[in-house]
Amino acid sequence: MRKIKLFLKKIWLSVFKEHPYTRVGAILDSILPESYKKKYYNDFWYRKGLLADIMRHHISRQHYMSCDDDIRKINRNKLWGGDSGKKWHDVKKKLWSDKDEFEKQYLKLGRPLALQITDLISSAPGSYHTVCDMGTGNGMFLNWLSGQVSGIRKFIGIDLNKEQVAENKETYKNTGLEFFYSEITDWINTRCGAGTIFVTCGVFEYFAQHELVRLFESIRNRAHPAAIAIIEPINLDLVSEFMSKPRGNIAYSHNYPYLFNKCGYNVFRQKVESFDPKVPFYSCVIMVATL
């Protein structure tokens, strides 16, 4: 049965160049009441069933086809700033409360990044005093990172989910961590300062390429010295593929070393971890770029 489904899907894609659900989703979007469609934004990541899959494809297609930055910003606020984003963070918090799961799913990639950040601080004594976790979510990674990196005075978490930020302030009120409710680009344009190491874990993948370039340029124009330290999933060849491409629901694969160099950054450290050796270029890039 699986082979038949894959064969039929291949034939469909050879004719229409897009998943069949996207066309069905467009029809449903025109007839479903707004109150019903809102449910899919409020539970975008975890809602199950055929109808949920169809609507996810449709919402993703709308996202990828949206050229206006304001529309993309609204989409991010709908998904990550609303109930759907809060549920995502709650599920991850529950999962990572198990130390074995936190180790397996997060620290396998987090430790190499922490070492890269430590190397950076050691290479430029006194140059960096703030770590800013962009898209901090439930704050667990920032809290862990604050115990791994020395020489930093302030650890700040930024997120566009207001409810999650309020919860973080209560959860980490005695740790010295600071949390702020803001869109990343707004924060950089108004609060970005020299000596900051900006950190992201699976956040930049939700920016289109031109948005990411502008974000890198904004940091470059407002802060020096500054660094960007990332853990981001990719499924492209960093040697030969330079244009970003969609991956999964509303996400993108970016060639981060290429984009950093294009924006005037220097690659300080870089490591690529494979998720599955059997799947070419299905990896995670762990790196630090500096100005």
- Please report, in tens digits, the pLDDT of each residue of the chain (291 residues total): 555 655 655 554 555 555 556 666 666 666 676 776 666 666 665 567 666 666 666 666 666 566 667 667 767 777 788 887 788 788 888 887 888 877 777 788 899 999 999 999 999 999 999 999 999 999 999 999 999 999 999 999 999 999 999 999 999 999 999 999 998 888 988 888 899 999 999 999 988 899 899 999 999 999 989 999 999 999 889 999 999 887 766 788 999 999 999 999 999 999 998 876 776 667 999 999 999
Is the bond preceding 225 in cis, omega lying within 30 degrees of 0?
yes
Backbone φ and ψ for 153, nearest 5 degrees, come out as: -90, -35
Cβ count near 212 (within 10 Å): 20
One domain, residues 8 and 145:
no
One domain, residues 155 and 234:
yes
One domain, residues 26 and 107:
no
16 falls within a domain: yes
168 falls within a domain: yes
One domain, residues 155 and 283:
yes
Q: What per-residue confidence (pLDDT) applies to 28? A: 64
229 falls within a domain: yes
One domain, residues 154 and 285:
yes
Q: What per-residue confidence (pLDDT) applies to 52? A: 64
Q: What per-residue confidence (pLDDT) applies to 60? A: 64
84 falls within a domain: no
Domain hosting residue 11, numbered range: 2-65
Say how many domains are in the chain. Answer: 2
Report angle CA 85, 81, 49 to the nearest 5 degrees. Answer: 40
Asked if residue 287 lies in contact with residue 231, where contact means CB atoms within 8 angstroms, the answer is: no
112 falls within a domain: yes
One domain, residues 165 and 277:
yes
11 falls within a domain: yes
Q: Which of 32, 65, 98 is the last residue of a domain?
A: 65
The pTM for the full model equals: 0.82
Separation of alpha carbons 179 and 172, rounded Å? 9
CATH number at residue 228: 3.40.50.150
One domain, residues 102 and 58:
no
